[in-house]
Structure formats: structure tokens, C-alpha cells
């Protein structure tokens, strides 16, 4: 998970169309994965809580569930848009890479944090 400085630096490079190509998740993608997992866990937990006697009809649980569900939908849409933008910018089919598990090897200024097989 990138820190705020690294994430903001990446967004700045994106605005200048100078972001490096990552073989794995770029800092924005890594932050989005953490956000998606947190939202999904919150939606699941509050949904489960609404079925319990202790939380039945409690307004804040229902509100939190609804708000996080809507945020999750927005975050998924943003994630898809980000994958499309990165695919176009780096001339690489990211959805296909997600399915096959294969991506073009790192070259030049590309960043690859994958462990090296020995």
C-alpha cells in the first residue's frame, strides 16, 4: 500500500502524462484495491448486522450499509475507468492481463516489484 506522498506523486505524474508503467498494480490501483476491500467488508458486515436481533431496525446500521454500498458501486466504476485509461495510455490490454495473468515484461523505466524466481 503506497503512502500518501507516493500516491500523490503518482497522481501528479498522471496529470502530466508521465506516470511510469507498472507490471503489477500502480500506486492508485493498490490504494483502490484496499478501498474496495474495506467497502466490501463494511457492506457485508452491516448487511449481516441488519439480520441480527440486536441491530434490527437500527437506523445508523441501515444508513451505513446504504452509503457504503453506493460508495462501493462508485469505486468499482472508478476502478474500471482507471483500467481502461491505463490500458490506452500504456497500450496494454489490462482486462486481458487480469484474466490470463500475463503482461508485457518490464523494460526501460517500467517498475516491476515481482519477486525474481531462482
pLDDT tens, position by position, 52-86: 999 998 999 999 999 999 999 999 999 999 889 88
d(CA 80, CA 77): 5
Grid cell, residue 44, equals 457485508
- The pTM assigned to this predicted structure is 0.80
> Does pLDDT of 10 surpass 80?
yes
| pLDDT tens-place string over residues 12-32 | 988 898 888 888 788 898 899
SS3 at position 93: coil
Amino acid at each position: 500500500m503506497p503512502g500518501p506522498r507516493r500516491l500523490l506523486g503518482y497522481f501528479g505524474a498522471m496529470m502530466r502524462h508521465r506516470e511510469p508503467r507498472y507490471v503489477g498494480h500502480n500506486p492508485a490501483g493498490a490504494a483502490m484495491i484496499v478501498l474496495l476491500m474495506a467497502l466490501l467488508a463494511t457492506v457485508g458486515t452491516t448487511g449481516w448486522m441488519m439480520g441480527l436481533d440486536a441491530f434490527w431496525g437500527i437506523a445508523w446500521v441501515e444508513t451505513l450499509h446504504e452509503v457504503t454500498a453506493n460508495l462501493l458501486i462508485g469505486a468499482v466504476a472508478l476502478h474500471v475507468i482507471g483500467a481502461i485509461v491505463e490500458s490506452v495510455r500504456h497500450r496494454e490490454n489490462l482486462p486481458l492481463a487480469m484474466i490470463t495473468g500475463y503482461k508485457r515484461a518490464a523494460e526501460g523505466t517500467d517498475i516491476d516489484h515481482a519477486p525474481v524466481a531462482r
